[in-house]
Chain A
Amino acid sequence: MIETIEIEVTAVAVTGAEPPAAEPPTATRAEVALGLSHFKEANERVRAALARADEVAVTDAHAQRYLGCALPAGKRLAIGGTPGNDLGCYLDGGAIEVFGDGQDQVGNTMNAGSITIHGRCGDAAGYALRGGTILVRDECGWRAGIHMKEYERKRPALVIGGDAGAFLGEYMAGGVIVLGGEPGPYVGSGMHGGVIYLRRPLAADAVTSGLVQAPATEEDVPGLAELIGAYNEAFAGEGPPLPAPDGGWWCLRPASARPYGSLYAH
């Protein structure tokens, strides 16, 4: 068992009475080394550090699940090592950056905020994503963006720089997926909302029935530009940047809002 250490880099300097609640907490940094600790203990220690500091560096992560669960706005986790499944689940406005690879279900049911992964990630990234942005520098596993959804101004985005496994955007109900590499088979299977942007068009027989493939138009450019810009900024100097939004992107959208409306009807 690796000895776990906890160092507070900058101590919170609070003198006299507690500051009024409206005042933003003093910006501090803390560091938590996880080693082989159990996820329950690991999360308790990360949460305790987050209570004292806005920015927590987690080092030496080894598959501890649920790191950054429901992290609120204004808080930031920087993670070294390999965080476990359900990284940033229910994320609620906080920012998570992983210097390494993610495992399965990154950003499960995330509500707001951002997850940036300087590496690859496993299956079902952005599972039931309902807000915020996930940026993955390299490839991702199967079923990225499964069950993504949107509501009014809450429009989640998932940007993957590399290739994606099969069933990208399965059952997608809303939001935006941007894929820099090649998708696997069954893209957008069961998709009935949102949009998937691709670098190259799919072969006609690879387009799932009920979806329409078309070149990205001028209307797509502003939204796409924002996400491509975010990706290129996050991973500047780490690999090839994504090409400009007007550089021949394609999009996949459902042909109608309720393509399966008659599936179970008489």
Chain B
Amino acid sequence: MAARHIPREGETRIPSGCAIAGIMDRSGARHDGTDILKSIALMHDRSNGLGGGFAAYGIYPDYADLYAFHIMYESREARAATEAYLEHYYLCEKQERVPTEDHPAIKNPPDIWRYFMAPHPMRLAASGLDEAEYTMRHVFHINGAVDGAFVASSGKNMGVFKGVGYPEDIGEFYRIADYDAWAWTAHGRFPTNTPGWWGGAHPFTLLNWSIVHNGEISSYDANRRYVEQFGYDCELQTDTEVITYLFDLLARRHGLSQEMAAHIMAAPSWRAIDAMAPENAAFETALRTVYASALVNGPFSIILGSEEGLLALNDRLKLRALMAAEKGPVVYLASEQAAIQVVCPDAENVRSIEGGVPFVVQLDAVARRKQEEAAENRAVRDWPLEHEVGVQPRRRREA
């Protein structure tokens, strides 16, 4: 296969909206991709065919303990180089092409593979990192240093299916109706500033995190400079990826709850802090001071997926719409209310997500576990093997 030139982010500017949706069963029961496909398809006109994608949690129960990498290749060489690299650092249990179906609307797709792998025990131990940190670094290496290879997802028991096209076509191309997941998110893209390419479609992922985003991050460069200090290379030049990395930094590395991480990104205004009781004001001031560069500005609505569940967040001024509703254990989220009702006509508790207020949907099992946990974070010294201690210098770019 000859290498093709596929336009990358930043080469062109295309002026723009987007559609996002999420469906989650809090009981952990799994549902196929039919509903999420129908929900995102209803919002067809919020996308323009330049990107669509889905994140699915709980789809690989047989390999639940292994990292499931979905990787897109633009050339045979890219695959050879990536597989040689992975073979060095991981033990691969299974590798295969992601099943796809020819679709008239999906043009020029990359070669898409998935790998179920465990970190190579000796190399993991030698790295001095925990397995999440170890995996994150290899993801960044592949994305940054292997030309024509892009890791679409790298979590456990989850996967991302995305590409250039309308989301309903992408979903059919990947046959997402064949997968069963307890949480689904979806995105229909209307790129604002950049062309669509397969890697640049949403969801953006790292480890178990996935983000679908409607909006534009005007603080992108400030946030990017901040996360790059901690080894997150923003290779995709797309504002959304930085939100994924902020959640990874604040929640996985700093041990904050996802809700607190979201609160930091959409912190209360100084005027609101001034009006608070002194102890609250002191707390909020400390947060805003320590995490000044993690404040996300601009119009956005996002749905974060993780092993805990979903989290929805609107910017503080609510410049984007996002609706929520529920029916029994199932929670629905969508940019437009009708996109919920089309799959659940008798959905209850229909309401909008407020600006700057994280909307958290946890698996029942996770919620129970959290309730039993102490309110305080565990000190890092008590879990050194699970956590990378200290700030590493930015690693040198190889090749």
- What is the minimal beta-carbon distance from A189 to any residue of chain B, in angstroms? 10
Smallest CB–CB gap between B348 and chain A, Å?
Answer: 13
CA distance A143 to B44 in the complex (A): 25
Give 16 CB contacts A-B under 8 Å: A36-B342, A62-B42, A62-B338, A63-B42, A63-B337, A63-B338, A82-B338, A82-B341, A101-B350, A103-B321, A120-B350, A123-B321, A141-B318, A142-B352, A142-B355, A165-B355
Q: Are A166 and B338 in contact (CB under 8 A)?
A: no
Task: Say which residue of A38, A39, A62, A104 sits within 8 Å of B341 (CB atoms).
Answer: A62
Min Cβ gap B21→A in Å is: 12
Residue of B nearest to A85 (CB): B336
B45 is an interface residue with CB less than 8 A from chain A: yes
Inter-chain contacts of B172 with A (CB < 8 A): none
- Give min CB distance, B116 to chain A, whole Å: 37
Number of A interface residues in the complex (CB < 8 A): 24
> How does the 8 Å CB contact mask read for B323-348 relative to A, with 1 for contact and 0 for none?
10000000000001111011000000
**Cross-chain contact A39 with B350 (CB below 8 angstroms):** no
> Closest residue of chain B to A184, judged by CB?
B354
Q: Which 7 A-B pairs have the closest CB atoms?
A: A63-B338, A82-B338, A142-B318, A62-B338, A141-B352, A63-B336, A104-B321
Residue of A nearest to B275 (CB): A205
**Given A62-B342, A120-B350, A141-B352, A101-B337 contact (CB < 8 Å):** yes
Complexed CA–CA distance, A127 and B44 (Å): 24
Which residues of chain B are near A143, meaning CB under 8 Å?
318
Task: Bin the interface of chain B by size.
Answer: 10 to 19
A39 to B336, CA, bound (A): 14
B294 within 8 A of A: no
Contact assessment for A165 and B42 in the assembled complex, using a CB-CB cutoff below 8 Å: no
Interface status of A113 (Cβ within 8 A of chain B): no
Q: Does A123 contact B352, Cβ atoms closer than 8 Å? A: yes
Interface flags, A134-167, vs B, CB<8A=1, else 0: 0000000111000000000000000000000111
A65 contact set on B, CB distance < 8 A: 45
Knowing A123-B318, A165-B352, A166-B355, the reply to whether A63 touches B275 (Cβ < 8 A) is no
Q: Is the CB of B338 within 8 A of A165?
A: no
> Using Cβ atoms and an 8 Å threshold, which residues of chain A touch B275?
205
- With A81-B341, A101-B337 given, name 12 new contacts (CB 8 A): A36-B42, A62-B342, A81-B338, A82-B337, A85-B336, A103-B321, A104-B336, A142-B318, A165-B318, A166-B318, A166-B355, A205-B275
Chain A residues numbered 16-74 whose CB sits less than 8 Å from any CB in chain B = 36, 38-39, 61-63, 65
- Indicate if B36 sits at the interface (CB-CB under 8 A): no
A62 to B338, CA, bound (A): 6
A122 at interface by CB-CB < 8 Å: yes
Complexed CA–CA distance, A61 and B337 (Å): 12
Are the C-beta atoms of A63 and B318 separated by less than 8 Å? no
Q: Is the interface of A mostly helix, strand, loop or mixed?
A: loop
Cα(A218)–Cα(B45), bound, Å? 49
A161-177 near B? 1/0 per residue, CB < 8 Å: 00001110000000000
In the assembly, what is the distance between CA of A103 and CA of B321, in Å?
9
**At the interface, yes or no: B295 with Cβ under 8 Å from chain A?**
no
> Does residue A188 face the partner (Cβ distance < 8 Å to B)?
no
Chain A 71-101 near chain B by CB (<8 Å), digits 1 or 0: 0000000000110110000000000000001
Q: Complex Cα distance A234/B355, Å?
A: 31
B43 interfacial contact with A, CB 8 Å = yes
Whether B354 pairs with A165 at a CB distance below 8 angstroms is yes
Residues of B within 8 A of A120 (CB): 350
- CA of A36 to CA of B168, assembled, Å: 14
Considering only residues 188-232 of chain A, those with a C-beta below 8 Å from chain B are 205
CB closest chain-A residue, reference B44: A38
Q: Are A39 and B42 in contact (CB under 8 A)?
A: no
B42-93 at interface with A (beta carbon < 8 Å): 42-45
Give min CB distance, B40 to chain A, whole Å.
12
A103 / chain B contacts, CB cutoff of 8 Å: 321, 336-338
Q: Which residues of A contact B342 (CB under 8 A)?
A: 36, 62-63
Q: How far is the CB of B288 from the nearest CB of chain A, in Å?
A: 18
Best-buried of A36, A63, A104, A141 by chain B (most CB within 10 Å):
A63
Say yes or no: B337 contacts A122, CB within 8 Å: yes
Q: Which residue of A lies closest to B340 (CB)?
A: A82
